[in-house]
Structure formats: structure tokens, C-alpha cells
Chains A and B, each alone.
Chain A
Amino acid sequence: MSTNPILADEKEAVIKIRGLDNRFGEQVIHQDLDLDVRRGEILGVVGGSGTGKSVLMRSIIGLQTPSEGQIDVLGENMIGREEDEAKNIRRRWGILFQNGALFSTLTVAENVEVPLREYFHFSQTLMDEIASYKIAMSGLPADAGPKFPAELSGGMIKRAGLARALALDPELLFLDEPTAGLDPISAQNFDELILSLRGKLDLTVFLITHDLDTLYAICDRVAVLADQKVVAVGTIDQLLALDHPWIQEYFNGPRGRAAAKA
């Protein structure tokens, strides 16, 4: 591991977090948290329940104003930003929420068209076509487009959420536990999908996950959240060399070892 394990070279950082504090009343979630996400990498974020993985993601994408600290995304400071300025950044990222967060009154295809409609003035035909191929790319069957979210299974909702996240061909993709609740085959397909999209679209992926197979299969680096901060970032091999009790237990538990063998 390099001399400074957490911070990357300034230039290649797509997301740069410095001194992030998040508090809810008395409860301290993050304290003095630093993290860099490099361009083109898939960064896995792991941590026990309640270590603030989702809060970290919400802080980066501006849904949660941190108590203190600085967050730069794609070279722009995100804290205290006007809504209009933030729009330029929002266009360049896509977010898959844990439960899909599809708009329940719209069909899957219409859901994918929402960001397109918001930012561009395309012909309806082009928008329908874009929605259609994004849905197919996300691994949904052709008849999923005109379905409403309530008619979909959990795995299909995730895929539809991904299709919407990819609608604008973002540079930066946030995935909150994308494979949770998927069967192993779907989860593996999902991993492969992310990998192939990353290769073709120069995506940077911020991936919150508990899925050890996903970590081994697609993550370039893994950031470990513990003790209110990022305690380590690196490849899994680098992390395994560290003497942190949680990291050892996580990767060397029976599940961790099984995933490593695969």
C-alpha cells in the first residue's frame, strides 16, 4: 500500500471527500472521514450495519447535508451549492437506490425516460428507443417496458432502477447494495453487466455492497468503513495484509474464504 493509503492522486479523483462529519443529534455517524474515488475504478464500500455507508452515499449525492467537511464530485464542490449549478453535476451521475426507488405511477420505460425528458429535448421516438435498449441492456425481458413497478419482482425492480440510472450515460454510477435480494445467478449477471458497462463507457462506480462475491469479482479497490471513518482502502489482498479486527473477520470468515476461492 502506498504511503497514503486513502487519498489518491489529486488529479484522478472523481470524488474527493475531506474531513466529513455527519451527526444526527448525539449520534456521530462519520467523524473526519477522508475518501477518494479514482476515475474509471469500481470502488466497493463495505462496513458493518450502521457504519453509515448509505449516509456517506447520501452525503456525496447531496441528499444529506454533512455537519462539516468538503465533498468534491467531478471537480465541483458539492456543499452549499445552488440547485441550478448542481444540475450540471446531477446530469453526469446515475444512482441506483437500495429499493429501486422507481416512480410507481410510471411504467418502467417511462421511468427511464424521466431523466431524458428533464435534461434533453429528444423526439419521442428516440426517447422510446433509448429507454428500450437501456431496459434490454439492464437484463430485463422485452415485455418489462410497459409494466408498472408494482408488477415487477425485486430483482426486476433493481434492473429497472439500473436502467434509469444509466439513462443519461453517466460518468459516475452510485449503486446501493445492487445485488442484495437477487438470486446468485442474477447477482452474477448483474456483476458482469456492471463490469462490461464500465469497460465500454469509462464508468466510475461507487458501490455499496455486502456481497463478498461482488467484491472479489468486480471491485478494483475496497474502502472499509469502521470507527466513524474510512479505516482502509485498497485491493482485497492489500486489506487482508492489514491487522484490523473487523477486516480480518470480514474477509477471513467462512463466507469471505468461500468467496475468495470462487
Chain B
Amino acid sequence: MVMASQSISGKGEDNADHCYRCMGTLTILRAATTEREIAAMADGMTIDLSGVERMDTVGAWLIYRAQRDRGAIVTGESEKIRGLLAQVADADRPVRVVPHKRGGVLGGVEELGGWAAEFGQTFRGLLGFFGATLIGFYNVAKRPRRFRLNAVVQRFDVVGVRALGIIGLMTFLIGIVIGQQGAVQLEQFGAEVYTINLIGRISVRELATLMTAIMVAGRSGSAFAAQIGTMKLTEEVDAMRTIGVSPIEALVLPRMLSAIIMMPLLAFFAMMMSMLGGGVFCWLYLGIPPLSFIQTIREVVPMTDLWVGLIKAPIFGFIIALSGCFQGMMVKSDAEEVGQRTTAAVVQSIFMVIVLDAVFAVFFSSIGWA
């Protein structure tokens, strides 16, 4: 029984004598069809290759596989095709595509153990990195000539000055939101004038610093991790070490210093912008003129609120830079890891900033700076 016309498909099968005749080209283009046709044949078929004009390794593989698994007998092959068949036969190895993974309960336990070990290593690495950074600060303090002023000033620009626009806009809008939400609630018992207290105290004491830290973590913490991580991949960090330049001094300290110094400045700017937003809202919506807004702010926001906001800022900056630089330094293998480490740096630093912020809130109220 002839199943496929030779003239159309270039191949013919004849089940009567278990003969599979290939015609024309037997290449990757026809591989799917050929595979199906061979699968439909009975074991021990004869494969006649006398009509094949062109064959590639995929075609040869299919024929070889039929020989190996199905006991097919190959006839009529040319010298060249015999060479191809021998070549693919020579390259026949056990198929392994993805790394072996243990399944089931044992696999779960193994994975859990892997995570725990990795967490421990990361924590130890972070402590070590923290120590190395302190030693770096100490070394630079001892020999101020090694201080890289240019690098630090350049970081000031990147971390601080260029963040002014986005942080200003963001906190301005947040000031408006606080004012609007406060006014809606306080209006209910005719106390909308207290909106000013709300705007002033919450901006200065909490939100400006917190929002600035989140923005700096997203803008600069991620950049630190990605920059240093990429430099690790291209072996720039190794090159530095071999030349005798300490990567901690050259890469980490400038970033850390810039984050520590820029954070309070940005936070102060954010406080002002937030109160400006709130003030504009009060003026337009509640009819409180700017001058009396400023007067009231001076009366209701105690100086300690400003200190609370500003003391936190450099510590947040330190955490963001530490996390970003540490994650960057941890990069070892490939581009994918740079992405993962960058994400980890941002998530970690924002998480730690918020945890610390809560600790600070309790601390400051217990020392009486309520």
C-alpha cells in the first residue's frame, strides 16, 4: 500500500514490503514529517536512501535513530550519507538537558536547607562587608590622601542633585494629599485649621524622610548594585584588586559617603516641598493665606520634630548604600544575577528602612521627643 505519493512529498512508503523510500532532500525542513512517517512504520523496516540528494545531520539522526531503536536496515546510501550516519552515531550520548533535581519530600528538604545555608552565608557576608567598609573608612581617615574627592563629588551629583526634581515633585504631591485627607476628616467637627498641624508634623517627623529614603533606594541603591555587579562580571573589580586599588575605597566608600551626606539634605528639601504642597492646598482649598500658614507651622512643629526627621536620614542612607554595594559585590556568575541582586538590594533596603523607622518612632517618643 502506497501511503504518500512520491512525486508530491519527495518520499514514498511501501508498507507491503516494509520499505521506507526517501527521495530528494532529507533535511531539518522535513524532519517533523519524516519522524512521523518512520514512527508509523513497523519495526525492522528497510530504509532506502538511494533517492536522497541532500541530507543534513538532522535527517541522518532520524535514520540513525530508526536503526538504533527500531532495527531498521538502511540500503542505497551514498558514501557521503554513510559518513554523516557514522558522524551522528559517533555523537550519540545520553540526553541531558537540564540539571538533575531531586523531587518529592527529599527535594523540598534539600531546597529548604539550601535557602537556610544561603541566608546564613548572606548574613555572614553582610557582616564581613560591613567590617571591610569600616576598615576602609579607617584607612582613608588615617591617610586622607587616599580619599577620592572627585569620585565622591560626582556621586553627590548623581545621588543628590539629580534626585531633587523627582523627590521635590513627589513630596509636593504628598503634602497636598495629607492636607486634603486631613481637611476632609477635620472639617467634620470644624477643626480644619488643625490640618496645618497635621501637614507640618507628619511631613517633618516621618513622611519626608521615609519617602526620600524609598526614592533614594529605588534610584541609587539599585544603581549601586547594578554598577558594581556589572563591574564584577567584567572582572573590573578583580583588575582593581590586582593593581592594588581597594574596591572598597574606590567603589564603596564614595557611594556610601554620598548616600550618608545626601540623604539628610534631600530629606530637608523633601520636608520643605511637602509643606509647600500642603500650604498651597490650604491656601486654595481652606482659604488660609500663606503667611498665616507659615506662622502656624512655626508655632505647632517643635524643633525636635526636625531633629527626629534629620537624625534618621543619614542612617537610612547608610543602609541603602550598604545593601546596594554589598549585593553588587556578591554578583558572581551572569547578567541574570545582576538583575536579581539589584532587586534584592532595593527590597532589602526599603524593608530595613521601614523596620528601623518603626524602631525610631518608639525610641524618640520614649525619650520624650513626642
Contact = CB atoms under 8 A, between A and B. Distances in A.
Q: Main secondary structure on chain A at its contact with chain B? A: helix
Interface in B93-129: 93-100
A148 B91 CA distance: 21
Interface stretch (A77-85, A117-125, A175-183, A208-216): A117-125
Contacts of A126: 31, 35
26 contacts: A105-B334, A105-B336, A107-B99, A109-B96, A109-B98, A110-B97, A126-B31, A126-B35, A129-B61, A130-B58, A131-B95, A132-B91, A133-B57, A133-B61, A133-B88, A133-B91, A134-B57, A137-B57, A137-B88, A137-B91, A145-B97, A146-B96, A148-B99, A148-B333, A200-B84, A201-B57
B93 A136 contact: yes
A202 B335 CA distance: 37
Given A122-B32, A130-B61, A110 B56 contact: no
Interface residues of A, number: 37
Contacts of B87: 137, 196, 200
Interface in B251-284: none
A50 B91 CA distance: 39
Given A121-B32, A137-B57, A128 B97 contact: yes
Interface residues of B, number: 32
A127 to B, nearest CB: 9
B192 to A, nearest CB: 56
Interface string A135-177: 1110000110111111000000000000000101100000000
A147 B334 CA distance: 13
Given A126-B35, A169-B56, A196-B87, A133 B93 contact: yes
Interface of A: 104-105, 107, 109-110, 113, 120-123, 126, 128-137, 142-143, 145-150, 166, 168-169, 196, 199-202
B241 to A, nearest CB: 20
B44 interface: no
A92 B223 CA distance: 41
Nearest to B36: A123
Contact of A120 (B28, B54, B57, B335): B28
B97 A104 contact: no
Nearest to B100: A146
Contacts of B334: 104-105, 148-150
Nearest to B83: A200
B96 A132 contact: yes
